[in-house]
Amino acid sequence: MSSQLFAICFNATRPADLARFWSGLLGWDLAGGPDDGIDVLPPDADGFRIRFLPGREPKTGQNRAHFDLTSASQEEQRRTVARALELGGKHIDVGQLPEEGHVVLADPDGNELCVIEAGNKFLADTGFVGALACDGTREVGYFWSEALRWPLVWDQDEETAIQSPNGGTKITWGGPPVADKTGTNRLFFELALPAGAVVDSEVDRLVSLGATRAETREGDGGRVMMLDPDGNEFAVRRPR
């Protein structure tokens, strides 16, 4: 049985502050998590949690992934932006054009996020967290489709996107050019196996799809650290 997407994890210099920001922005509950993390819990059982883990390295460049939040109206977009600013976020410039309708912000730890304008058809069948938008190749989109057993919902001009069969947030990859990776990603996927599953079998399956084992020790709390075909870190949790 394949693993499920358990969490999107942030390595954070201020995990508690960051968790409070995202909890307040999304309206999701806070909870203590494994491995000394702080979790923000999704409103339904089918969603993934967002985890904030203590990390010592400050942010030095643009992340390879960020959340896109949706809006049902222009007024809702303004309210979301205002709430983010009240919670400690800020406006940033990543090269967006004045005529583009989305608003680019950073959370209190400098991680980028976008508040998308109303009427975005691609995100119409998602929730408030419309997408996790990633830099990445077509190959990595295919890999994650197979790894999570989520169908491809977009595959055009080397851009790909997947979505759970249950709906919800899409994960997208923008295709080349992909910026060079420097250091460890601040955001990474954490997968979980059901009780009774054999983690070594799942690791072998992921390797057969194009992943590799990371050249690091197994993560805290029984996590096996791996790399996807684009070299992005991800973790597979051992069943408890």
Provide the whole-model pTM: 0.94
- Pick the residue with more confidence: 138 or 37? 138
Give which of 192, 200, 205 is closest to 235, Cα–Cα: 192
Residue with tokens 């595959």, as numbered in its chain:
155
Cα of 166 vs its chain's centroid, Å: 17
User: Per residue in 97-120, pLDDT tens?
Assistant: 676 789 999 999 999 999 999 999
Confidence of residue 23 (pLDDT cuts 50, 70, 90): very high
- pLDDT, residue 185, reads 93
| 161 token code pair | 């996107």
Distance CA 22, CA 107 (A): 8
- pLDDT, residue 207, reads 97
* DSSP state, residue 226: E
Residue with tokens 């030095």, as numbered in its chain:
60
- Judge whether residue 150 has pLDDT over 70: yes
